[in-house]
Structures are given as C-alpha cells and as structure tokens.
Amino acid sequence: MMLRIPSVLAPDELAAATHILAAARFVDGRLSAGSAARRVKNNEEADRTSRELTQLDNLVMGKLVQHPLYRNGALPLRVAAPFYARYLPGRAYGDHVDDPVMGADGTLYRSDIAITIFLNDPAHYDGGELEIRTPFGSNSVKLPAGDAVLYPASSLHRVAPVTRGERLVAVTWAQSLVRDPARRELLYELNQAREALLEKSPDAPETARVNTAYVNLVRMWSEF
C-alpha cells in the first residue's frame, strides 16, 4: 500500500526544520547505505552527530507519529530516527530496495515501511521525483512541503535526478505490528470503514461487529 499523508508539518514547523538544516553539516549519503545501495546512491545527508538534529528529530517524528493516517496505515511497533537528505543538481538515487534490517548498537528493527517527508516546495526544484515500482506500475511522487508518503520498504524505488534547485526530504522507516503488507492494507481499509461507522452510527449492531472484527484481526496478525 502506498499512502499519502497530508500536512505532517505545518508551515511554521517547516520553517523551523529548514532553518535548522540550513546550518547543519552535510556528508556523503553513501556513508549510511548498504553495499548494494551505495553503488546507486548520490545525495548528501545531514550529519547525524550534529546536536541540532535532536531538536529536529523531536519536531519531525513527533508530528509524524501523532498523525492518524500514519498510525492507521503503518501500525508502527518500532520507528527509526530519520535521515535528512539533500539533492542538488545532478544528484539522484538509482533503483534500490531498502535494507531489510536496520539499526545499530544492539537495537535492530525490520524495515517494513518507508516514509518520505517532503521538506521544501516542489516549485523550488526540477526533477527529484520519488518513483515507486509496484506490480501495477510505477508511481511518481513529488508532494507539497509538509506532506509525506508511506510505502512498503520492499518496493523497488528510486529518486530521479534533480536538474534545478534543491530537494530536501526526511526519510525514516518503521517496523509494523503487522508484517505482511497485504494484511496491513486490509486492516487500513477496514479501519476506515470502522471509524466512519463509529462516527455515524456508534450504537448500531453492525458497528459493533466491524469494530470487533478489526480489533481481533489486529490481535491475530500482530507480531512482537
């Protein structure tokens, strides 16, 4: 499932994020890539050792994990600190699949879901589309600043070359309570119907049945 998450960051929060990144030190993005991705990765990332990034992480991840579409779509169990990537003209990220297991220092997680949060206006750069391959074709994603896209980390994807300006994004991953992407999609759709019924007909017997089915499917399919 590919899911657009609108308005993760408000305009004032975007201004604060880009202000921090303007003063950040950027390093070669290949330093954080696995052996296969390193061959096709050509971007820059904010140095994770910078103290300023703690404040930025709290802002970006604090808003993301509170967003109801993210919670319902990802059903997150573990989440990663984001990388802040910058693409200048000529930079790109070729076809790749994200590493299946990430983390360090004894804290590992399975990367079920990838999330890209767009941090600057798409009018400020040309190219730089996130292209996600699915069994039904390729999806090209270039969203307004503050919006995010969620998709299976197992998808083959790429970032098209930037030809003008600067593309600035935050990228993070999550291990879901529900490992199987098809089951996550079914649960998301069922929860959409459940929430609509709870809003319109909270006391109806069909609402109770749908709610029970959703809750027990999450219980049945959850992994810890």
- Whole-prediction pTM value? 0.95
* C-alpha count within 13 angstroms, C-beta hemisphere, residue 175: 15
- Residues 101-154 have pLDDT tens digits of 998 777 899 999 999 999 999 999 999 999 999 888 899 999 999 999 999 999
Question: Directed axis angle between helix 181-200 and helix 205-221, to 10°?
Answer: 150
Contact 157, 133 (CB under 8 A): yes
| Residue (of 184, 174, 13, 186) closest to 80 by Cα position | 174
Which residues, in sequence order, are CB contacts of 106 under 8 Å at separation 6+?
A: none
The domain ranges of the chain are: 3-176, 181-221
Name the CATH superfamily for 3-176.
q2cbj1_9rhob like domain (2.60.120.620)
pLDDT in tens, 156-165: 999 999 999 9
